[in-house]
Structure 1
Amino acid sequence: METNLRENTNYPLFDFIDLFAGIGGFRISFQDVGGKCVFSSEWNKFSQQTYCHNFGEMPSGNICDIDKSTIPDHDILCAGFPCQPFSLAGVSKKNSLGRKHGFEDPTQGTLFFEVKKTLQIKQPKAFMLENVKNLLSHDKGKTFEVIRKSLEDELGYIVNWKIVDGARWVPQHRQRIFIVGYNPDKVDIAKNDIIIPEKPEEGYAYPELRDIIQDKVEGWTIGPGTWDTLIRHKAYHSSRGNGFGYGLHTIPIKKGSVTRTISARYHKDGAEVLIEQKGDRPRRLTIIEAMQLQGYDPNNFHFPVSNTQAYRQIGNSVVVPAIRACAHQMARVLKERSK
């Protein structure tokens, strides 16, 4: 269920900020459970356009250039921060030499550092972070361990995390790590009490892929050169015994069908999700179809940018109902356990 994208209550239950905001998937989710967005930041000019078009507010620019002390006070920090490798070499070398590394924070130079610094300065009651599932295993777990230490050991938050597949809410496989934390000085909670939903609550109306895909559309057929390239690419990998290649959904689409993960490169060839067209080459998803695979309501969300930019923005976004389910749990915690 989507609501009006601008704040829909005169009595917000909590305030939140939207960092690395993209096109506002976090904002929709947290507004839907009673939150009020008091600050947003997004550096990409095209994403800013889409965000402003739908929320009536232009996000602040690059979070790296923003004085964190000027960010309004808030209860929850939301951030789908990009994953960047952390280099521990400098710190490790100084430690081995017995030197103090002072401000040589192991997360400095990464965008996670901007999240950490904001948490450190503003001390919100809670946060929710989202990232690719590989963050957990990157560099044999060392990257995530740096993040965990930063959040738990240095900042003192009570933190839990879980890999969540958006396919439980929408017909698209999309595994992401959700990281949720609470400030023990402001919220009475233990790690085991932090609930990160892995599936919708009872009564959720699951959108079937066959209901999302339109019967006849024009202008979305992939070109002959693109199709030939995709066929060769798939044949090459098949000859080597792996399943790499395009993903094609034949018509009629069966009940329970789920697509591959849509990425920011979908605009290039549509390889992740192609739709069969009888007597013709396959087609890409339309923008309206693609956005629904992320849980956006096409009646209530619009793209004022080119199709290429819209595809990129959809691929970089989040599964809105999965984020909303987690936001709902967090709103409940703040209501029942705030000190």
Structure 2
Amino acid sequence: MSKQIHIRLDDVVYDAITDYNKDNDISMHDTVSNAIMQFLTQKNLEDTPSDVLFRFIDLFAGIGGMRIAFDRAGGKCVYSNEWNKYSQQTYFANFGEQPEGDITKVDENSIPDHDVLVAGFPCQPFSIAGVAKKNSLGRATGFEDKTQGTLFFDICRILKAKRPKAFMLENVKNLKSHDKGRTFKVITESLEELDYEVFHAVLDGQNYVPQHRERILIIGFDRKRYGKDIDFHFDLTPVKPKPIIKDILEPKVDDKYTLSDKLWSYLQNYAAKHRAAGNGFGYGIADPNGVSRTLSARYYKDGSEILIEQKGKNPRRLTPRECARLQGFPDDFVIPVSDTQAYKQFGNSVVVPLMADVAQLVVKKMKELDDRNND
């Protein structure tokens, strides 16, 4: 839902904006809308209280799951970056800030000072060949050689320029095994070359929400500030009692979420075909007293990985609000986009209470290290 406004511009201003639009191939609507949101974002950032525990930045921010986690730990977000326009829309609706776009074009020195860098970065292939060649020639390689051309490189250059006290990175579990472990080796070596003590663990969200969702978290603390004598453990505090699927279900759901006869028949036939071939592919009916499969960004296509059984009806997919709950987002989290975009956004997001638990541990360790330095 949107509203219209009418504004008057002096001719010289209108001509300048028109030229800008032509040069950047964008519409007048987008230019004016972005300018207003940037103004509101700046106003929100200027309202930062002086007594916040720490400041953090939110990179590859998505819809702000990691931000909520660090907000709860007592921090203040001073910068966010997310390129997807629909995710930007959801982010703005909930935090009053428009994340900056394309991180590859951002000057790292322009980013505000911060204590913690937070990023749910995409996993991209790394070129190992160039590194191997340099090694064979006896030449030193650093993160710039190893990671140039990947979005992980942008994290590294920001860490190098701003040197936050700590960072927390999130990615899919398979990052550790990607390219026979070489990708993960490049990542950890690059972070260590930047003089950070690095810790990592694969964690499952099912102790916080009723969803089996494994993700890798990579934590780092600045050796230049704290030295090498740093110890960190993922001592988590799971939710009790353990959440189950029926905890997140809405009492009344629109019939549009019920699978059509055609789609339900297709999914059943597809599953039968793969069962006959000895494969495990197929739809998943969620146990109301158990946990679901992993919610993915493809959920909008047919909802097959997590279906809810209904008496006298075909199964249904989860509603966007139920997907939000499955990821641990609070019920007052605003969903301003279409169902299709919402499914993509929540499927790409994080388990908020798990991230909040780890964020508390990072902040606690940071305070311990700061206190040790001040002794």
- Residue from 269, 273, 285 that aligns with 1:236: 273
Q: Which has the higher helix share?
A: 2
Shift of the alpha carbon at 1:10? 6.0
Shift of the alpha carbon at 1:28? 0.5
- Within the alignment, does 1:155 sit opposite 2:191 as a pair? no
- Residue from 146, 164, 170 that aligns with 2:209: 170
Q: CA separation in 2, counterparts of 1:36 and 1:103?
A: 29
Shift of the alpha carbon at 1:223? 2.2
Kept after mapping to 2: 8 A contact 1:182/1:189: no
User: Measured at CA, do residues 209 and 79 of structure 1 come closer, stay the same or move farther in structure 2, by a change above 3 Å?
Assistant: same
- Residue from 302, 306, 326 that aligns with 1:293: 326
- Equivalent runs, 1:116-265 vs 2, <5 Å: 116-152=156-192, 154-187=193-226, 190-191=229-230, 193-200=231-238, 204=240, 206-218=242-254, 219-249=256-286, 253-254=288-289, 257-265=290-298
SS at 1:186's partner residue? helix
User: Measured at CA, do residues 130 and 98 of structure 1 come closer, stay the same or move farther in structure 2, by a change above 3 Å?
Assistant: same
Unaligned stretches of 5+ in structure 1? 1-5
1:151-207 deviation digits (Å, cap 9, x = unpaired)? 11x10101100000000111000000000000022236645x21224442xx75643
Kept after mapping to 2: 8 A contact 1:19/1:42: yes
Shift of the alpha carbon at 1:98? 5.6
Match of 2:6 in 1: none
1:18-59 deviation digits (Å, cap 9, x = unpaired)? 000000011100011100000000000000000000000101
- Say which one has the larger Rg: 2
- Within the alignment, does 1:16 sit opposite 2:48 as a pair? no
Match of 1:3 in 2: none
Match of 1:322 in 2: 354
Q: CA separation in 2, counterparts of 1:102 and 1:231?
A: 51
| Higher RCO (CA-CA < 8 Å; seq separation 6+) | 1
The residue identity in structure 2 corresponding to 1:223 is S
The residue identity in structure 1 corresponding to 2:111 is I
Q: CA separation in 2, counterparts of 1:84 and 1:302?
A: 30
Match of 1:39 in 2: 79
Kept after mapping to 2: 8 A contact 1:42/1:60: yes
Kept after mapping to 2: 8 A contact 1:91/1:104: no
- Residue from 103, 108, 114 that aligns with 1:68: 108
Aligned length: 326
Q: CA separation in 2, counterparts of 1:61 and 1:79?
A: 14
Kept after mapping to 2: 8 A contact 1:188/1:337: no
- Within the alignment, does 1:112 sit opposite 2:152 as a pair? yes
User: Measured at CA, do residues 210 and 183 of structure 1 come closer, stay the same or move farther in structure 2, by a change above 3 Å?
Assistant: same
The residue identity in structure 2 corresponding to 1:249 is A
CA-atom RMSD in angstroms: 2.2
1:190-245 deviation digits (Å, cap 9, x = unpaired)? 45x21224442xx7564332121234412211222222221122111111223221
- Within the alignment, does 1:284 sit opposite 2:323 as a pair? no
Kept after mapping to 2: 8 A contact 1:135/1:144: yes
Match of 2:335 in 1: 303
Kept after mapping to 2: 8 A contact 1:15/1:75: yes
TM-score by length of 1: 0.90
1:230-286 deviation digits (Å, cap 9, x = unpaired)? 112211111122322111136xx22xx000000000000001100011121110001
The residue identity in structure 2 corresponding to 1:194 is F
Kept after mapping to 2: 8 A contact 1:73/1:122: yes
The residue identity in structure 1 corresponding to 2:121 is F
Unaligned stretches of 5+ in structure 2? 1-44
SS at 2:282's partner residue? coil
- Identical columns (%): 55
Kept after mapping to 1: 8 A contact 2:143/2:190: no
Q: For structure 1, which segment, 26-35 or 217-226, has the greater mean C-alpha deviation from structure 2 after superposition?
A: 217-226
Q: CA separation in 1, counterparts of 2:318 and 2:237?
A: 25
SS at 1:177's partner residue? strand
